[in-house]
Amino acid sequence: MSCEQLFLEELKKKGYRFTPQREIVLEIMHHLDKPASAEEIFAHVQEITKTVDKSTVYRTLDLLQEFGLVSVIDSGERGHLYEHLGTDKPHLHLACESCGKIFAVDQEAFLPFAEYLADTVGFEVSLQSTTIQGLCSACREKAHSVAVREQVLEETSSN
Amino acid sequence: MSCEQLFLEELKKKGYRFTPQREIVLEIMHHLDKPASAEEIFAHVQEITKTVDKSTVYRTLDLLQEFGLVSVIDSGERGHLYEHLGTDKPHLHLACESCGKIFAVDQEAFLPFAEYLADTVGFEVSLQSTTIQGLCSACREKAHSVAVREQVLEETSSN
DNA sequence: CTCTATGCAAAGCTTTTGCACGTTA
DNA sequence: TAACGTGCAAAAGCTTTGCATAGAG
């Protein structure tokens, strides 16, 4: 079933309505290639039409979440980011604390840990809403070279 | 070295000053038994004295973070939570999306996954600032029994 | 026709900031 | 006595909400 069909079904099931505004927001989400903030999504919507209010975008994102079509990432730096859940495999996110970039990672390697948590403390991990913080490889290298440079400077200045 | 000594050293090192307000906030953090919001920390501070402003609490929490004495947890539901990093082993946090409780988990079982990320995509996980979302065992059971009840209701109503 | 959804404006919350005054080293 | 830190009040983001009106079913 396509996203739109699923959306329609869910709306009907709950007695909600299918409006142009909701259609546009879903359309935008569908074409995102990476997680985006509410502000960014609103900007995309505005490129199509000025007749959708920001509050409607928020309300629609809530709906889409409720239907499981969209997930929210708590990115730390950049606040909440919304991501379309298409036919992608389940995945989790890495957020770089330095540059703010978000990366998607397949869940496979994480599953043993999820299983461990389920077995030991009975915690059921929600992969889609989990974001792992850290440093991406680019920022890691940058940090490393800075560290090296500082070390050199210290050695120089202490002479 | 005790927390207070470390705090003093770091302050001196950076040319910052040791003030009663900073002492009180550190004291409060030291006695927290679980992560707390800025609001909660401020409330605790107020129990001791009314002469510390909320903005000072925020500024001090920033300082403590900078010194590595405090870490911030992005709990989702409950916003930012601050946690004192004592002599505890490195750990990560689980946040229940239903009841909002935070749980600490030793890092050991997570390390293989962290290593996998480092090896495959060069991402360096920051354990202390990572929070895994999901359902705690209590909420899981609750959700399960609700689901069962709904199923029973559906079966009844369809007869 | 009924009841939901929307736009608009205002309010809420958490966190940050500007500034004059108080304090630390 | 020179910076730095603080309280106070205001601002800044981001998100939510109340309400009259528009619009879907």
Q: In sequence order, which residues have a C-beta less than 8 Å from that of residue A115 and are 6 or more positions away?
A: none
pLDDT tens digits for chain A (159 residues)?
688 899 999 999 999 999 999 999 999 999 999 999 999 999 999 999 999 999 999 999 999 999 999 999 888 778 899 999 876 778 999 999 888 889 999 999 999 999 999 999 999 999 888 899 999 999 998 877 766 665 665 555 443
Measured in degrees and rounded to the nearest 5, phi and psi for residue A7 equal: -60, -50
pLDDT tens digits for chain B (159 residues)?
688 899 999 999 999 999 999 999 999 999 999 999 999 999 999 999 999 999 999 999 999 999 999 999 888 778 899 999 876 778 999 999 888 889 999 999 999 999 999 999 999 999 888 899 999 999 998 877 766 665 665 555 443
Q: Give the ranges where chain B is alpha helix by DSSP (H).
A: 3-14, 20-31, 38-48, 54-66, 111-121, 137-157
- Best mutation target among B123, B128, B130, B131 (most A Cβ atoms within 10 Å) is B123
| Buried b or exposed e, range B67-79, using 16+ CB within 10 angstroms | bebbbbbbbbebe
Record the pTM.
0.84
pLDDT of residue B120: 96
pLDDT of residue A159: 34
According to DSSP, the residues that pair with A106 across neighbouring strands are: A91
- Provide the residue type at A19 as one letter: T
B136 CB within 8 Å of a chain A CB: yes
Nucleotide nearest to A16 (CA to C1'): C4
Cα separation, B106 vs B127, whole angstroms: 10
- Indicate the helix (H) or strand (E) that contains A42: helix A38-48
pLDDT of residue B157: 47
- Nearest-CA residue to the C1' of D9? B55
Q: Is the CB of B76 under 7 A from strand C?
A: no
Subunit contact B124:A130, Cβ cutoff 8 A: no
- Nearest-CA residue to the C1' of D7? B53
Q: Protein footprint on strand C: which nucleotides are under 7 Å from a CB?
A: 4-10, 14-18, 23-25
Nucleotide nearest to B51 (CA to C1'): D7
- CA B32, B35, B41, B47 torsion: positive or negative? negative
Subunit contact A124:B112, Cβ cutoff 8 A: no
A144 CB within 8 Å of a chain B CB: no
Which residues in chain B are classed under CATH 1.10.10.10?
1-88
Which residues in chain B are classed under CATH 3.30.1490.190?
89-159
pLDDT of residue B99: 85
Cα separation, B101 vs B77, whole angstroms: 10
Closest of B75, B116, B117, B67 to residue B99, by C-alpha: B75
3.30.1490.190, 3.40.1160.10, 3.40.1130.10, 1.10.3720.10: CATH of A89-159: 3.30.1490.190
CATH number of A1-88: 1.10.10.10
Subunit contact A132:B125, Cβ cutoff 8 A: yes
Q: For the residues of A93-136, what is the DSSP string, one character each?
A: EEEETTT--EEEEESGGGHHHHHHHHHHH--EE-GGG-EEEEE-
Q: Is the CB of B13 under 7 A from strand C?
A: no
| End-to-end Cα spacing for chain B | 71
Closest of A123, A94, A121, A122 to residue A107, by C-alpha: A94
pLDDT of residue B137: 95
Subunit contact A140:B129, Cβ cutoff 8 A: no
Task: Give the residue on B whose Cα is nearest the Cα of A114.
Answer: B110
DSSP 8-state assignment for residue A138: H
